[in-house]
Amino acid sequence: MKMSRRSKTVAITFALTVTCAFIVPAADRAAHAAPLCGPLIEFENIADLPADCDPTGTQIEFENGVVLDVPTEPDRLVTVSALGRTPSEGYELSAYLDESFNLAAADDGTVLGSSPSAARTLSDELANGGEQESAPRRASPKCATNAPYLLNRKWAAKRYDWYYNNSGAPVSGGREAMQRAAASVSTGRSSSCGNRDSALITSNRGTTSRSSQVTRDGTCPVVGDNVNVVGWGPIDSSVLGVACSWAAIAPGLRLESDIKVNSNYKNWYVSGSSCSGQRYDLESLAVHEFGHAGGLGHVGDDESQIMKPFINQCNLSQRSLGRGDQNGLLRHYGSA
Ligand SMILES: [Zn+2]
């Protein structure tokens, strides 16, 4: 099945190359006629790929064992972000195919490319959403004005319209918790640092029977379905939530962001009496995931921002944005 899909991709790519031969540079045509670089490329080998192999339709295996499909069309970026229970469990991985069919990938802070320009483009994209300005990364208290943030691609229309799928939810009240979290991100809500309202709108357009496009391996399919879905499903690792995002870098478009909460974990705290014991707060997790959906990336392990890659048990202050989270959203969208 996979082989035939790859063969088809090659055939389509070849047909396109012939059709468009008059506008495609010679080097790209050569790359297309070349054998696949895969099927499976180890992340650490990306910079050493043969110059004439074709990465479309292959897969990248990262050091933690998570695999991402390489985009099948040029200028596509896919990013998977997982929220763990410990700093080492969380991950943020990206695969990018540039307009010349060069490959780049990112494993948390490390970016490698089959060409220097693809690696540079991906670095800029993941550090600051393609804006040529670096964000502060220094460790700092939750509300320090220079608290860290990372910008991934933003929504050009300043809107994240999402649908909710309650199927598989092990607790009740999930949709309301998601709506509260979405509102916190769009309004920059923070009981600790003071509210700072960005112009981002996050709007729950209703419920859906569509699944969020996150696999049970805790990774993203090669393309989404152009509908932003927040939902539940089993993920076969101990991460608690995963966000998948797709973007086209050249025109500056964020295309889709989906969120899946791991339904294998049943002991979510939602609301009511005080949270106690070894439980995770659903709203806190959702604030983090809507941060991704709004275009933020993970910051360092020991940060007090919501975009740190792990979540603590029963710490409801994680529902409240840090100044870095707020600054990131304000940089992306401006003030409301
Ligand atoms: Zn995350």
What are the sequence ranges of the domains in the chain?
Answer: 150-219+265-333
Could you list which residues have their CB under 5 Å from ion ligand 1? 81, 83
Ligand 1 centre from 48 Cα, in Å? 29
SS3 content of the chain, % helix, strand, coil (to 5): 25, 25, 50
Ligand 1 centre from 291 Cα, in Å? 8
pLDDT tens for the chain, 336 residues: list them.
333 443 443 444 444 444 433 444 444 544 456 788 989 999 999 999 998 899 998 999 999 999 999 999 999 999 999 999 998 999 999 999 999 999 999 998 899 999 999 999 999 898 776 654 445 555 568 998 888 889 999 999 999 999 999 999 999 999 999 999 999 999 999 999 999 999 999 999 999 999 999 999 999 999 999 999 999 999 999 999 999 999 999 999 999 999 999 999 999 999 877 999 999 999 999 999 999 999 999 988 667 899 999 999 999 999 999 999 999 999 999 999
Ligand 1 centre from 16 Cα, in Å? 37
Chain centre distance of CA 217: 15
CATH of range 150-219+265-333; options 3.40.390.10, 3.40.190.80, 3.30.70.20, 3.40.50.960: 3.40.390.10
CA pair distance 73, 96, nearest whole angstrom: 10
Letter string b/e over residues 205-230, b meaning 16 or more CB atoms within 10 A of that residue's CB: eeebeebbbbbeebbbebbbeeebbb
Of 97, 57, 103, 54, the closest CA to residue 76 belongs to 97
Ligand 1 centre from 242 Cα, in Å? 7
**Residue 147 in 3-state DSSP?**
coil
Ligand 1 centre from 264 Cα, in Å? 18
Ligand 1 centre from 297 Cα, in Å? 7
Q: What is the pLDDT of residue 11?
A: 41
- Which residue stretches of the chain are H helix? 2-19, 26-33, 116-128, 174-187, 282-293, 323-333
Strands (DSSP E) contained in the chain are 40-42, 59-61, 67-69, 76-83, 91-97, 103-107, 110-113, 150-151, 159-165, 201-207, 229-233, 241-248, 253-262, 268-269, 280-281, 296-297
Of 69, 49, 67, the closest CA to residue 58 belongs to 69
Rounded to the nearest 5 degrees, what angle is found at the Cα of 31, between the Cα atoms of 105 and 104? 5
Tokens representing residue 211 in the block: 């699944």
Q: Phi-psi bin for 148: left (phi > 0), alpha (psi -120 to 50), beta?
A: beta
Q: What is the pLDDT of residue 38?
A: 87
Residue type, 272: G
- Give Cβ neighbours of residue 115 (< 8 Å, ≥ 6 apart): 98, 100, 102, 104
| Dihedral of alpha carbons 312, 310, 130, 157, sign | negative
